[in-house]
């Protein structure tokens, strides 16, 4: 059988991210370039894995939702060059809004699967302080004139309110409790040393205060309680249910990961954090974009021949608490199920749009190492304009995990 026709397995070797900063004029990265943030993550992956010759990297795929300014100019190519990769290593930019880095990962995994690549870097960056979501965009007037989408479908906070409307069981009280739990779980994970291994320090510079070093996430609010956020205003609708306490804050940050064909990882001595099983994307009504992970997960499970009962860990992006709750209700999972976001989520740590997919994956890989009894896990997220994305992963520490090699694939 020709090598090009063999389906190869993709493994997640390692992932890192910058500390996340608040997107505001006095935020952590107010005076730091977006491309420099993602360059730092790529350099850190290369530093952590010196057994990988840089010339063996076949592709660099970097996502950004707003591709302009320091987030423009074909990020995958420019980031690779700035990170010191040989000029022979190609790269490209990608955009699927919040699922940008997730799509970068699944794109390069598909290339690995057909033998078009052996090793790839994938990631994402968003400097929302400099490039707010949708900034300078010009949506086609037909969207509204021809009622292709509702007028409020382009406002993510309003779509979260729409979810509350659509599903009465998704009450504000449940959302408040979930938002507080995210902060609590993140604080516990930080205290136990589970967050710092993912982080790469970033040098920062402020015109007035001089040089600094970003070593910790800026958005979390430890000590948050459901009672404390119950009185917060609802900025997206008078008398609504979505608040700052149940939404991911606007965030600056970057994340990248190293992926390889399983046989190439073995050849080079690269560790295996987890193995990709299947992935899927799905579209939903833009007005309720938060339910996107539900059909995407159903599709991925069906393609993989698995059921929701086979999944032992869930990393669900917390764009809004109501979006996670909608997913949990759809699959009959309790709000406080310990399998869900054990390190907390974006409500606490932030959501730098295109980078968040790799944060989810990096955390899931670490959780797999802690839980060898779990065989399968999921990373999933909603996407603006009505989409969802899901990737199913297998735990290499599980007793039933069997590495594949080139000869087995050929058969």
Average pLDDT over every residue of 376-396: 97
Q: pLDDT at position 149, please?
A: 85
CA dist list (Å): 260 to 21, 108, 300: 30, 9, 21
138: confidence class by pLDDT, cuts 50, 70, 90: confident
Class assignment of domain 142-195+277-393? alpha beta
**49-92 confidence digits (pLDDT tens):** 999 999 999 999 999 999 999 999 999 999 999 999 999 999 99
- Per-residue H/E/C for 118-186: CEEEEEEEEECCCCCCCCCCCCCCHHHHCCCCCHHHHCHHHHHHHHHHHCCCCCHHHHHHHHHHHHHHH
The DSSP element (H or E) to which 361 belongs, if any, is helix 356-370
CA dist list (Å): 92 to 87, 225, 259: 13, 43, 16
**205-228 confidence digits (pLDDT tens):** 888 888 999 999 999 999 999 999
**329-345 confidence digits (pLDDT tens):** 999 999 999 999 999 99
- Residue with the bigger pLDDT between 182 and 133: it is 182
Set 98, 127, 164, 257: catalytic member: 98
Number of Cβ atoms within 10 Å of the Cβ of 318: 27
Report the predicted TM-score, pTM, of the whole model to 2 decimal places: 0.96
Q: Judge whether 351 counts as a catalytic residue.
A: yes
Percent of the chain scoring above 70 in pLDDT: 97
Q: Judge whether 382 counts as a catalytic residue.
A: yes
Residue 239 sits at φ, ψ, to 5 deg, of 70, 20
Distance from C-alpha of 261 to C-alpha of 265, rounded to nearest angstrom: 6
Q: pLDDT at position 144, please?
A: 81
Structure tokens at 395: 């735990």
CA dist list (Å): 264 to 112, 222, 260, 279: 10, 42, 6, 21
Q: Does 411 score more than 60 pLDDT?
A: no
Residue 196 sits at φ, ψ, to 5 deg, of -55, -35
Set 131, 351, 371, 398: catalytic member: 351
Q: pLDDT at position 6, please?
A: 67
Average pLDDT over every residue of 26-47: 97
Domain locations along the chain: 142-195+277-393
Set 131, 164, 257, 382: catalytic member: 382
Distance from C-alpha of 124 to C-alpha of 112, rounded to nearest angstrom: 19
**81-131 confidence digits (pLDDT tens):** 999 999 999 999 999 999 999 999 999 999 999 999 999 999 999 999 999
Q: Judge whether 98 counts as a catalytic residue.
A: yes
């Amino acid at each position: 059988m020709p090598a090009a026709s063999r389906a190869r397995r993709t493994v997640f070797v390692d992932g890192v991210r910058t500390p996340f900063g608040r997107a505001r004029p006095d935020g952590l990265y107010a005076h730091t370039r977006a491309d420099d943030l993602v360059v730092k993550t790529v350099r850190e992956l290369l530093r952590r894995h010196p057994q990988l010759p840089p010339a063996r990297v076949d592709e660099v795929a970097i996502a950004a939702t707003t591709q302009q300014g320091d987030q423009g100019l074909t990020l995958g190519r420019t980031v690779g060059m700035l990170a010191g990769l040989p000029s022979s290593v190609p790269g490209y930019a990608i955009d699927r809004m919040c699922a940008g880095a997730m799509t970068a990962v699944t794109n390069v995994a598909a290339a690995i699967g057909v033998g078009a690549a052996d090793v790839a870097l994938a990631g994402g960056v968003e400097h929302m302080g400099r490039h707010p979501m949708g900034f300078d965009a010009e949506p086609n007037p037909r969207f509204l004139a021809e009622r292709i989408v509702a007028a409020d479908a382009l406002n993510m906070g309003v779509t979260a309110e729409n979810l509350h409307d659509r599903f009465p069981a998704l009450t504000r009280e449940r959302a408040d409790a979930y938002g507080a739990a995210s902060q609590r779980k993140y604080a516990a994970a930080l205290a136990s040393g589970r967050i710092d291994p993912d982080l790469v320090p970033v040098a920062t510079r402020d015109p007035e205060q001089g040089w600094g070093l970003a070593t910790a996430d800026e958005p979390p609010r430890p000590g948050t309680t459901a009672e404390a956020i119950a009185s917060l205003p609802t900025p997206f609708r008078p008398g609504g249910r979505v608040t700052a306490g149940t939404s991911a804050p606007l965030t600056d940050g970057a994340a990248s990961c190293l992926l390889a064909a399983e046989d190439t990882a073995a050849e080079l001595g690269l560790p295996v954090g987890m193995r990709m099983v299947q992935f899927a994307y799905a579209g939903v009504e833009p007005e309720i974009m938060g339910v996107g992970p539900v059909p995407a997960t159903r599709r991925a499970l069906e393609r993989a021949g698995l059921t929701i009962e086979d999944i032992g860990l869930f990393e669900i992006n917390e764009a809004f608490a109501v979006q996670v709750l909608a997913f949990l209700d759809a699959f009959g999972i309790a709000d406080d199920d310990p399998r869900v976001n054990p390190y907390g989520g974006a409500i606490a740590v932030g959501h730098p749009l295109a980078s968040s997919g790799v944060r989810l994956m990096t955390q899931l890989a670490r959780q797999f190492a802690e839980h060898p009894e779990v065989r399968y896990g999921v990373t999933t997220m909603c996407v603006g304009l009505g989409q969802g994305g899901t990737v199913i992963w297998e735990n290499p520490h599980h007793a039933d995990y069997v590495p594949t090699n080139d000869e087995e694939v050929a058969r």
